[in-house]
Amino acid sequence: MTARLPTRPPPEWDDPCRRYAPDISAFLDGELDDGEAAAVWAHLQACAACAATYEDMRRIQQAVRTYAVFPTGGKPLRERVMKALAREEP
């Protein structure tokens, strides 16, 4: 889940929010280096609007991890695909 927030936050967000909004998702996913992560974390501690956005994204991520259904077919997918391809060869 590596979706970033739009690069244009709502107009009511102030300048620091505009700076950090695109990085909230990357922060949540652990994709930022230590310096960037520390800056985003500091902003989240000081900004209720961005902290709420972060919390919403965190809850969505957790729900997806908890409730997503990944189909299983018994046999490994690779084996089934390889057999299907072998049947289709001329």
Token digits of residue 72: 């299983």
Measured between alpha carbons, how far is residue 63 from residues 21, 26, 32, 85 in Å? 22, 18, 23, 36
CA gyration radius, the chain: 20
In this predicted structure, what is the pLDDT of residue 19? 84
Q: How does pLDDT run across 4-55, given as a tens digit for each residue?
A: 555 565 565 567 788 888 899 999 999 999 999 999 999 999 999 899 999 9
Please state whether the predicted TM-score (pTM) of the whole model is above 0.75. Answer: no
Give the pLDDT of residue 83. 87
Distances, alpha carbon 45 to alpha carbons 1, 42, 62, 73, in Å: 23, 5, 21, 45
* Span 62-69, average pLDDT: 87
